[in-house]
Structure 1
């Protein structure tokens, strides 16, 4: 597992995938908005669209996995950004494993971390 400091130092918010697992379901999406939001303790925020299937799964998840994709991982970015989990099982098309707290970890991500959901705040579509 990549450390949080290494992840934050290399972050490219345009290529960030968040995955969630809860209630026997798993989901993931490319996120357009994410940011480190605290230094001590280190905290990271992701904003998920309320119309996205990942939001529905994430609202019941205790942890989320945040993945940094390499610039050449266009296929993974397109899969998680351009397909809906309502119609496609995205996880049949990528290598993944279960991580800390039941998180879904994409094995080919450049870097990743699993974070505990501390708070849920409405903010966006």
Structure 2
């Protein structure tokens, strides 16, 4: 019996295995925002469309994240799909301790007081309907209330541990 390409020796489940496998999985890049005493936000590659009726999205957030205490209490969150030219914005919102809403970030207060980033491919304002424990994360499910898909441009993608663009 010959081995099929890509079928090596199985590894034992561990955080390193999960990270290694998901480096092979290209994912769209989003920034999630919420309002607390001040605006908070983080880069997410776990954004998913959950249902069309009602319109629901989900994303994961680490409970050790500096944004989690605000997201844990927020009634509404913002979801921003980033374009391929927004690598630095994605990196800023991914970097621990960064001034995410500093002078280099263009944003405004949107519906329900949610911080909205300018110049993104698309954005949504969603009402949080569930926060589900999942290991050291929470899966947040939110219902879409408003948004704008008209930003245009090509999406930013996360693959092999870096932000990149789609190739033609």
TM-score, with normalisation over the residues of structure 1?
0.81
Q: Distance in 1 between matches of 2:112 and 2:89?
A: 23
Q: Distance in 1 between matches of 2:130 and 2:59?
A: 11
Match of 2:28 in 1: 14
Match of 1:88 in 2: 98
Does the 8 Å contact 1:15/1:71 carry over to 2?
Answer: no
Does the 8 Å contact 2:92/2:98 carry over to 1?
Answer: no
What does 1:1-125 align with in structure 2 at a 5 Å threshold? 13-22=27-36, 24-81=37-94, 83-84=95-96, 87-92=97-102, 93-125=104-136
Count of matched residue pairs: 110
4+ residue segments displaced more than 3 Å: none
The two structures, once aligned, show a CA RMSD in angstroms of 1.5
Higher-Rg structure is 2
Alignment gaps of 5+ in structure 2:
1-25, 137-168
Q: Distance in 2 between matches of 1:39 and 1:13?
A: 20
- Specify whether residues 105 and 13 from structure 1 end up closer, same or farther in structure 2 by C-alpha distance, changes over 3 A only: farther
Give 1:13 shift: 4.1
Instruction: Note the alpha carbon deviations across 1:12-62, whole angstroms, 9 max, x for none.
Output: 84311101112x122111112121111211100111111111111111111
- Greater RCO structure (CA 8 Å; 6+ sep): 1
Give 1:122 shift: 1.2
Alignment gaps of 5+ in structure 1:
1-11
Question: Which has the larger strand fraction?
Answer: 2
- Specify whether residues 13 and 66 from structure 1 end up closer, same or farther in structure 2 by C-alpha distance, changes over 3 A only: farther
TM-score, with normalisation over the residues of structure 2?
0.61
